[in-house]
Structure 1
Amino acid sequence: MGGQWRVVAAGPWDDPGWQHALEDAGCEVVLGRSFERFPGQAYTEGELIDLFKDADAVLVSTREQVTRRVLEACPHLKIVAKATIGVERIDLDAARDSGILVVNSPAPQNYLGVAEATIGLILTLTKRMIGNQRRLREGQWKHPDSLGRMLMGQTIGIVGLGRVGSNVARRLTAWDVRLLAADPYIEPAAAHAVGAELVPVDDLLRESDVVTLHVVLTQETRHLIDETRLRAMKPTACLVNTSRGGVIDTAALVRAIQEDWIAAAALDVFEEEPLPLESPLRRLDPDRVILTPHCIGNNRDSQRTGTRMAVDNILRALRGDLPQYIKNPGAIPRWRERFPGRER
């Protein structure tokens, strides 16, 4: 079916409501293949160019690598929308240069879901739930290794005090813990407002019993947690990452577990996703290392709300209005040049 605008979704979503909303607004909707169902079938750069080249708007998932070459091959493209939060796989500089807006969808159900799940992982590690369940299923009962730790009185370090990190902090204030936060982009008063003390990241790593990561992936944060910083942590410390896999040097983390630099880790995100079968992370002691497939905060409400936010932003941009949650505001002047004559 033809339409006034061509909107390409790189992978279908289960809820058809978003597609109907676009079609009702006069859009032709083109669906790509679903990486949720077929995670090994990633698009090549050439395939994305073929899929996106005639699009006025695209809706991408967490899997597509939207490069400069892809964006420059799309002369009509006004907006790249994401139904979740992270946009690190989209070349924001190239989008700015081409006058293409990039938006995300920070649905409360998304970041609150991740915050809740983060605390669940902290408890699972500190209470040694995985090992206790395994021993019980193997026919054992109580064991000296079954003893967990109280959170009360512990120091919890939160790296990144944005939407997720600040909500982790708010929820932990009732647990009688000491909260440290490291974030170069906030003031001490903002940390204090959520019950945390703002400190340099290296101080946080040295002092914390649990470290949880909540930063976006940039050149600044890639391998933020490297060998030097892992060695600086307490040997009894736990590390939780529900942000982006590239924030941790995977090879260094494997050594940290194998050589007991730290006690345990929980990872929902990885440098390469899906996690390769040959990854050394898969061979680490499962009692000490929890691995989940970038899904820990997923819930039906977050998927529906995030997709609805993305669709609303697509329609705003197609009609000539600035969308919300623009991640590359430097693109706005060029975007206005490319699509003149609109009221904004």
Structure 2
Amino acid sequence: MNRIRTFTTFRARLVLPAYRAPSRRLCSSRMLSSTAHRRSTAASPGRPKIVVCTDLGPALPLLSERRDIEVITWTENRCCDRTWMLHNIAGAAGVVVCFQNAVDRELVDAAGPNLRVVSTVSVGHEHIDLKVMAEHNIQVGYTPDILTDAVADSAVMLTLMASRRAGQSYTFVKDNQWPTFHWTPFALCGPQLSTTTFSPTRTAGFLGFGRIAHAVLKRLAAFGITHCIYTPRPGAAPQPTRDEKLRAAHSLVSVAPVDLPTLARESDMLFVLAPGGPSTRHLVDEGFLQLMRPTSVLVNNGRGSVVDSAALARALKEGWIWGAGLDVVEEEPQVGPEHPLVSEPRCVVLPHIGSAALETRTEMASLTARNVLAGVLKQPLPVALDYAPLI
């Protein structure tokens, strides 16, 4: 009990410096649930209403303790019901959502003309109908940049797990196979991530080369990665000055843009970090995977739709590539034990938890609260999505 109390106090002190920590202790069994602080305020004329449809943890008091706004919160520790959203959204000036809450024409119509801002606890915005937002002049707040380091950490973790067969090895122990295991020198071996005197080169490939890719590259430098290749956005101008700075900063042999076939052929580890949407759907398909090295590892922290799940399952089964580490899957969240990627021994599948670091999620919640608050008070959003080019 003392350990729980100490950890909880430390969390409140460490990650909440910008605002007053809740007066009651956070519940350790429901990490960041803040159930004690959730409340629904009765409608009151003259005060803008905010509907909070997801857990904001210790950031909720940024909204709930104010007296110039009304706050209605979803109180259960699960995804907000659609019926609850539609029932409570009427008259709202702002709404807080996560990627599981669809913000579409039906919801906007139910809210009425007062709705000024939608604030999402995510970088992705596929759950928000941006055309409807534009029609009604509704601002969208989101949380880029904050999760860059957490996702980069998880990408390297997935690389190590997939290459060194960590998932398969854990199952081996969990299923009580270790006591009867007959050791051989190459049992449960996999490709080494780091360079050595007897294996002196490694090439990291990136499908999508933005903030998260740069953060992954920074981490890989510690493993002695020698080359970096990437595919630029279609139509993007070359950036040789930036590439040279990255090369020098991480003591690499080269950083260079390449086409998709070259990316597939030359990557020892391939990081899929491209956004979703029709233009990137199944960029990693059967033809791409057949070009990859049999010792290569594919890691997807971007969007599940970029990788053809059926093609990847075949590539793993037939040995076109060594392994895969996935934080996102095309069919998520409808992914269970029978899914061909989950049942594949050399594939590690995580339930979209790339940003699930305590400090990161707390700051994401704080920014989400500040975005919605600014919107309803008719102030500039701390971080607003410029969605005009996306429509």
TM-score w.r.t. length of structure 1? 0.84
Q: Which residue number in structure 2 is paired with residue 65 of structure 1?
A: 102
CA distance in 2: counterparts of 1:142 and 1:86, whole angstroms: 45
CA distance in 1: counterparts of 2:143 and 2:106, whole angstroms: 24
Q: Which moved more, 1:186-195 or 1:315-324?
A: 186-195
1:261 Cα offset (Å): 2.4
Q: Which residue number in structure 2 is paired with residue 312 of structure 1?
A: 370
Aligned partners of 2:304 and 2:331 also within 8 Å? yes
1:43 Cα offset (Å): 4.2
CA distance in 2: counterparts of 1:240 and 1:95, whole angstroms: 33
Q: Which residue number in structure 1 is paired with residue 30 of structure 2?
A: none
Number of residue-to-residue matches in the alignment: 323
Q: Which residue number in structure 2 is paired with residue 122 of structure 1?
A: 159
Q: Which residue number in structure 1 is paired with residue 228 of structure 2?
A: 179
Match of 2:168 among 122, 125, 131: 131
**1:227-280: per-residue Cα shift (whole Å, max 9, x none)?**
222222223221111122122122222222223222211111122332333652
Matched, 1:217 2:288: no
1:67-82, aligned counterparts within 5 Å? 67-74=104-111, 75-82=113-120
1:2-17, aligned counterparts within 5 Å? 2=43, 4-15=47-58, 17=59
1:290-309, aligned counterparts within 5 Å? 290-309=348-367
**1:178-220: per-residue Cα shift (whole Å, max 9, x none)?**
2112221462433443333222233211211111111221221
1:100-249, aligned counterparts within 5 Å? 100-108=138-146, 110-135=147-172, 137-138=176-177, 139=179, 140=181, 142-143=183-184, 144-151=186-193, 152=195, 153-177=201-225, 178-184=227-233, 185=236, 187-195=239-247, 196-249=255-308
Match of 1:18 among 60, 80, 89: 60
CA distance in 1: counterparts of 2:359 and 2:86, whole angstroms: 32
CA distance in 2: counterparts of 1:169 and 1:198, whole angstroms: 14
Q: Which residue number in structure 2 is paired with residue 254 of structure 1?
A: 313
Aligned partners of 2:327 and 2:351 also within 8 Å? yes
Structure 1 unmatched runs, 5+? 332-344
Structure index of larger Rg: 2
Aligned partners of 1:266 and 1:291 also within 8 Å? yes
Q: Which moved more, 1:236-245 or 1:68-77?
A: 68-77
1:162 Cα offset (Å): 1.6
CA distance in 1: counterparts of 2:245 and 2:382, whole angstroms: 26
- More contact order relative to length (CA 8 Å, sep ≥ 6): 1
Aligned partners of 2:57 and 2:365 also within 8 Å? no
**1:8-32: per-residue Cα shift (whole Å, max 9, x none)?**
11123333x4244344152211123
CA distance in 2: counterparts of 1:134 and 1:294, whole angstroms: 20
Q: Which residue number in structure 1 is paired with residue 129 of structure 2?
A: 91
CA distance in 2: counterparts of 1:267 and 1:314, whole angstroms: 32
Secondary structure of the 1:211 match is strand
Amino acid at match of 1:94: V
Secondary structure of the 2:95 match is strand
**1:32-90: per-residue Cα shift (whole Å, max 9, x none)?**
365xx446xx744x664334332211111121122233334432111111122111211
1:163 Cα offset (Å): 1.8
Aligned partners of 1:245 and 1:270 also within 8 Å? yes
Aligned partners of 1:96 and 1:328 also within 8 Å? no
Secondary structure of the 1:293 match is coil
Structure 2 unmatched runs, 5+? 1-40, 196-200, 248-254
Amino acid at match of 2:241: A
CA distance in 1: counterparts of 2:55 and 2:224, whole angstroms: 44
Q: Which moved more, 1:113-122 or 1:4-13?
A: 4-13
Aligned partners of 1:254 and 1:280 also within 8 Å? no
CA distance in 1: counterparts of 2:338 and 2:105, whole angstroms: 29
Secondary structure of the 1:281 match is coil
Amino acid at match of 1:158: F
Q: In angstroms, what is the RMSD of aligned CA positions?
A: 2.5
Aligned partners of 2:191 and 2:295 also within 8 Å? no
Q: Percent identity?
A: 26
1:291 Cα offset (Å): 1.0
Matched, 1:56 2:93: yes
Secondary structure of the 1:309 match is helix
TM-score w.r.t. length of structure 2? 0.75
